[in-house]
Amino acid sequence: MEVAAQIATVLLVVLTLFQLTLAAGAPWGAAAYGGGWPGVLPKGLRINSLVFGLVIYPLIILYVLDAGGVVTSDWLPGSRTIVLWVLVVFFGVGSVANFASRSKVERWWGPVALIVGICCAVLAVG
């Protein structure tokens, strides 16, 4: 369980840093959001990346680490099992979308999302 949490956390940190660099204006738009915006993302998508980088992914990391027994976060709301199954679906859909992307570079995120989803499933079952 702890190993699944650690693997997922490392990949989620990579995703977090990627989203924060997109929000900061890195010209990597071809690797995100369907690859439809090569170069710097438009303002709305940069704000979306900022929310994912500062709020969504860090919260997911806390749930994953808590479920893996690495940290204890009693203040997090909701059932860990339900949250983890929601994450399995979220990352499963994300992996399919990434694998199906017209952007070749965005397809690299497919395996990342798939592995995070599998780790979440391991944690949900455990």
Residue 64 counted as domain residue:
yes
Residue 68 counted as domain residue:
yes
Phi/psi for 38 (5° steps) reads -60, 145
The band of 73, judged by pLDDT with boundaries at 50, 70 and 90, is confident
How many domains would you assign to the chain?
1
Residue 43 counted as domain residue:
no
pTM: 0.94
Residue 105 counted as domain residue:
yes
User: What domain range includes position 60?
Assistant: 2-18+54-125
Helix (H) or strand (E) run with residue 38 in it: none
Q: Is the pLDDT of residue 74 over 90?
A: no
Residue 65 counted as domain residue:
yes
Residue 99 counted as domain residue:
yes
Average pLDDT over residues 18-42: 97
For 88-100, how does the pLDDT look when each residue is reduced to its tens digit (9 = 90+)? 999 999 999 999 9
Residue 66 counted as domain residue:
yes
- Whose CA is closest to 113, among 125, 102, 74, 101? 101
Q: What is the predicted pLDDT for the residue at 26?
A: 98
DSSP code of 1?
A: -
Higher pLDDT, 46 or 76: 46
Residue 48 counted as domain residue:
no
